[in-house]
Amino acid sequence: MIRVLIADDEDMIRTAMAALLDLEDDIEVVAQCPDGPSALEAAARLVPDVCLLDVEMPGLDGVEVAAQLRRTVSTRCVVVTRHARPGVLRRALQAGVEGFMPKSRPAQEVASVLRDVAAGRRYVDPEVAADALADERSPLTDRELDVLRAGRGGEPVAQVARALHLAPGTVRNHVSSILGKLHVDTRAQAVKLALDRGWI
């Protein structure tokens, strides 16, 4: 029997997926969690064979949960997302997830992926993988990427400058260059674009 934990902040999706997976003869849903922190706690307590984690969750997202579980619990992780962007896939793979698929897949396919992952195999949705391979490389320099990383939470320029040991004027110059290269108007838009494409 494959013991599965499901974590998704959307109640209807989480409970529907649990009900459908419970119909499978070889799968048992041992926990349903509405957010990342409760998924971490339940996984540590129950040690399921596979955790099915939504990327977009409050507290900790599915990729962050998978990364922490990799260090603490011998469970395998499949990440599902409504927005299967190449950058999210790259981030998930760097965190060590064993499966990645969009939420649009039917329950039977999810069950099949869970079986594969429980058996030690990996799965990446072919369409997402193709998009990731075709995705363009970052036009930003390493230092510009550092500036985006340091300010990804909206930190003020002075704080970013201190974190990177740069002058505030130098940070402002980098930000101006970033906005021009990415053709966006704000630093928040630049951070979102860089995250979506897996550059930071």
Q: Are residues 39 and 100 in the same domain?
A: yes
Q: Are residues 24 and 97 in the same domain?
A: yes
CB 123 within 8 A of CB 78: yes
- Return the SS3 of 18: helix
Q: What is the mean pLDDT of residues 7-34?
A: 96
CB 27 within 8 A of CB 116: no
The token duo for 7 is 């974590």
| Reported confidence tier of residue 82, pLDDT bands at 50, 70, 90 | confident
Q: Are residues 25 and 101 in the same domain?
A: yes
| Reported confidence tier of residue 92, pLDDT bands at 50, 70, 90 | confident
- pLDDT of 135 reads 61
CATH number at residue 37: 3.40.50.2300
Domain hosting 164: range is 142-196
| Reported confidence tier of residue 94, pLDDT bands at 50, 70, 90 | confident
Rounded to 5 degrees, what are φ and ψ at 52? Answer: -100, 105
DSSP summary character for residue 194: H
pLDDT tens, residue by residue, 131-149: 666 666 778 888 999 999 9
Q: Are residues 64 and 163 in the same domain?
A: no
Last residue of a domain, one of 134, 157, 181: 134
Q: Are residues 164 and 65 in the same domain?
A: no
Q: Are residues 184 and 121 in the same domain?
A: no
| Reported confidence tier of residue 104, pLDDT bands at 50, 70, 90 | confident
Q: Are residues 45 and 110 in the same domain?
A: yes
Q: In what order do the strands lie in the sheet with 123-124?
A: 27-33, 2-7, 50-54, 76-81, 99-102, 123-124
